[in-house]
Amino acid sequence: MQNLVNKLVPATCLTALLLLSLMGPATAPTAMATERVSDEYQVQAAYILNFVRFTTWPTSSFRDEDQDIILGIQGEDFFGATLDAIDGEAIKNRRLQIIRLGKTGNPQGCHLLYISNSEQRYLQQILAAIEGKPTLTISDMDNFAAQGGMIQIKKINDKIKLFINTTALNRAGLKLRANLLNIATLVN
């Protein structure tokens, strides 16, 4: 027993060394180096910015020429600081303004609404709250587009794919540019 205690310290050191040696080659194998990789939510944020660029809202949804475009985040915010990268971004003469609504905030008045996958259960209630309003709805929750959401962001085998519900878009009076529709799978 006491032997074991004595062995403990060297054994720990040895395993620590082994672990450290594992960490050694901290660079990627060169064959893979050309591939671009990134965090899922960073990429989602970049997509959202593109959605803003390629969406046309009815003029009536803005007070004036310079009013901010408002992006609401409903539910748990999994973006963290990555979302701050696009907050305040200029799109022509407007700026993107991000509002974190949490679980209980009112989504009305948002030009874009990102519904966190934490809100799957409440999806119908959230969509009902903005029914008929020109709000572009976005989410990465399962079956979002099929259940009446507009743009579903889905990770399939480590790549991002888009599913767009054109019926929902038309009902809200929103238009997406062709380059966005071209890269997406359309759902009715």
Partner 1 sequence: MLKPQQAIHILAAAITTFSVLTLSPIAHAKQNKPDHELTELSLEELADITIVTAAKKEQRISQAAAAATVIDREQIRRYGYRTLGEALSRTSGMTYQSDRNYTYLGVRGFSLPGDYNTRILVLVDGHRSNNALYDQANMDEGFPVDIESIERIEIVKGPGSAMWGSNALFAVINIITRKGSDINGGRLLMEVGNRQHRKGYLEYGKTFANGLTLAGAASGLADDGEESIYFPEIDQPAFHNGMAENVDAETARKGYLNLSYKGLGLLFAHSSRDKTVPTAAWDGAFNDPANYTSDKYTILEVNLDKDIDPSHNGRLFARLYHDWFNYYGDYPYYFGGAYITNKDNGNSKQWGGEIRYTVTPSTDFTLTTGLEYVDIYEAIQQNYDAAPNYWLNLDTSNDNNDYNTRAAYLQGEYALSTSLRVLGGVRYDRYSTFGEQLSPRAALLYSPNLSTTFKFLYGEAFRAPNDYERNYADGFAMTGNSDLKPETIRTWEIVGEKNFNRHTRLTTSLFRFELNDLIGQETLANGLLQFQNNSGKTRSDGGEIQIQTSLDNGYRAYASLAYNQAKNLATDTDLDNSASFQAATGISVPIWNGRAYLSPEIRYLGQRTSSATGKTLAVATPINLSLTSGKLLNNIDFSLNIYNLFDQENRASGAGEHYHSDPATSQAIYFDIPQSGRTFRSQLAYHF
Q: Which of 152, 132, 134, 151 is nearest to 142 (CA)?
A: 152
Structure token digits, residue 178: 């062709």
Closer residue to partner 1 (CB): 4 or 92: 4
Segment contacting partner 1 by CB under 8 A, of 57-65, 66-74, 83-91, 107-115 = 83-91
- Any contact of residue 124 with partner 1 (CB under 8 A)? yes
Q: How far is the CB of 110 from partner 1 (least distance, A)?
A: 19
**74: enclosing H helix or E strand:** strand 69-74
What phi and psi, each to the nearest 5 degrees, are found at residue 155?
-90, 120
Closer residue to partner 1 (CB): 58 or 102: 102
- Any contact of residue 56 with partner 1 (CB under 8 A)? no
- Any contact of residue 147 with partner 1 (CB under 8 A)? yes
- Any contact of residue 153 with partner 1 (CB under 8 A)? no
Residue selected from 56, 58, 85, 106 as contacting partner 1 according to rule CB under 8 A: 85
Residue selected from 122, 166, 171, 173 as contacting partner 1 according to rule CB under 8 A: 122
Binders of partner 1 in range 2-21 (CB under 8 A)? 4-5, 8-9, 11-12, 15-16, 18-20
Beta-strand pair 112-115/69-74: parallel
Q: Which residues contact 38 (CB under 8 A, 6 or more apart)?
A: none
Instruction: Tell how far CA 47 is from the center of its chain.
Output: 7
Q: How far is the CB of 156 from partner 1 (least distance, A)?
A: 4
Q: How far is Cα 134 from Cα 108, in angstroms, rounded to an integer? A: 10
Closer residue to partner 1 (CB): 173 or 181: 181
- Any contact of residue 90 with partner 1 (CB under 8 A)? no
Residue written as token pair 């809202």: 57
Q: Which of 96, 99, 117 is nearest to 49 (CA)?
A: 96
